[in-house]
A and B are shown apart, each in its own frame.
Chain A
Amino acid sequence: MLELYILLIFMIIAAVVAVEVKDLLSSVIAVGAVGLGLCITFLVLKAPDVAITQLVVEILALIILIRATLKKDLPFSTTGRWFLNTLITLVFVAAFLSVAVYALRDLPPFGEPLMRVAKTYLKEGLSETGAANLVGSVILDYRAYDTLGEATVLFTAVIGVLTLVRKVGRKKEAAVAREESDE
């Protein structure tokens, strides 16, 4: 499992670069490096469905993020109580990390999952649903209600974006005419 460690350390380094670099465009591209490393990690961990989805989602997210940061390389101030703020943040992160490590003991050890429910899915999946891809059979047959909720969340997010981006206030007549001629 050496490649897993290498990929995880690469992702952590890329994440630190994304957090600490001054230029916003470089930061966004470093996030893209983290996402593509995550995609290869999913492949190593034997999850091809998730890897394909992560790859295409990463590309789309990168395009949207670059659009948001284009032409706006604004310097931001780091004056003020720099030392105190960093100290408080680091103490909080350290407290979170210690509690998380304590909680990590209850997880099953790496490589030996508890498969109480999944055992049934893996054994009966092909005969009960007829789908060779067991992830697909879990998503759209055994747990399709979950996917219906996901579709609702996605619909809400789309409506939220379209509401935020719309033009506020009453349109002038000329603007309306110009838009109609545009479309």
Chain B
Amino acid sequence: MIVYLLCLLLFCVGLYCILRKRNIIKIIVGVIIAEYAVNLLFILVAYRRGGRAPLHSPDAVIENMVDALPQALVLTSIVISLASTALLIAIAMRIYQKYRTFDITKIRELRG
């Protein structure tokens, strides 16, 4: 239970960064940390006490493997998160090229 709480704390660090910081690179850093925390939560839910990795061996019969389904979901999600991070960075570089700043409060069109 404490492990889940620590994982949520990691997510909250990322959430605080997204909400509070004004630099676009810092916001991307917050998004990355939040993604890590979500991936970690899936793998934590899949863990089984005293379990083994989900691999069959030709010599021995392996009992009590950990859950393979969340691992498969997280494997695809990691690659997608890399692509979405690259997309965010491309948008940030375009914004820098146009407005000469990473500070979102200095960009006039975004001000409500």
Query: Are chains A and B touching directly in their complex (CB below 8 angstroms)?
Result: yes
Q: Is A128 an interface residue (CB 8 A)?
A: no
Chain A residues, CB < 8 A from B39: 38, 50, 54
CB pair A135 B19 closer than 8 Å: no
Question: Restricting to B8-22, which residues have a CB under 8 Å from any CB of A?
Answer: 8-10, 12-17, 19-22
Q: Is the interface of A mostly helix, strand, loop or mixed?
A: helix
CB pair A109 B83 closer than 8 Å: no
Roughly how many angstroms separate A122 CA and B56 CA in the complex, as a whole number? 9
Give the number of chain B interface residues (Cβ < 8 Å): 78
Q: Is B69 an interface residue (CB 8 A)?
A: yes
Nearest chain A residue, comparing its CB with the CB of B74: A50
Chain A residues, CB < 8 A from B76: 139, 146-147, 150
CB pair A150 B80 closer than 8 Å: yes
Chain A residues, CB < 8 A from B44: 45, 110
CB pair A86 B26 closer than 8 Å: no
Chain B residues, CB < 8 A from A16: 13
- Of the candidates A112, A134, A164, which one forms a contact with B48 in the assembled complex, judged by CB atoms under 8 Å apart? A112
CB pair B68 A41 closer than 8 Å: no
Question: Restricting to A57-97, which residues have a CB under 8 Å from any CB of B?
Answer: 57, 60-61, 64-65, 68-69, 72, 74, 76-77, 80, 85-86, 89-90, 92-93, 96-97
Roughly how many angstroms separate A145 CA and B51 CA in the complex, as a whole number? 28
Q: Given A16-B13, A49-B71, A132-B55, A60 and B82 touching (CB < 8 A)?
A: yes
Q: Given A42-B43, A46-B51, A110-B3, A117 and B105 touching (CB < 8 A)?
A: no
Q: A69-B25, A139-B75, A157-B83 are known contacts; what are 11 more A-B pairs with Cβ within 8 Å?
A: A1-B3, A5-B6, A8-B7, A9-B6, A15-B13, A50-B39, A80-B105, A134-B56, A153-B83, A158-B83, A164-B90
Can you list 25 pairs linking A and B with CB atoms under 8 Å apart? A1-B3, A11-B10, A15-B14, A19-B17, A19-B21, A27-B25, A27-B29, A31-B29, A45-B47, A47-B66, A48-B53, A57-B81, A57-B82, A65-B28, A90-B16, A126-B56, A133-B55, A138-B72, A139-B72, A139-B76, A154-B79, A157-B84, A160-B87, A160-B90, A164-B90
B residues neighboring A (CB under 8 Å): 1-10, 12-17, 19-23, 25-26, 28-30, 32-33, 36, 39-40, 43-49, 51-58, 65-69, 71-76, 78-87, 89-94, 96, 101-103, 105
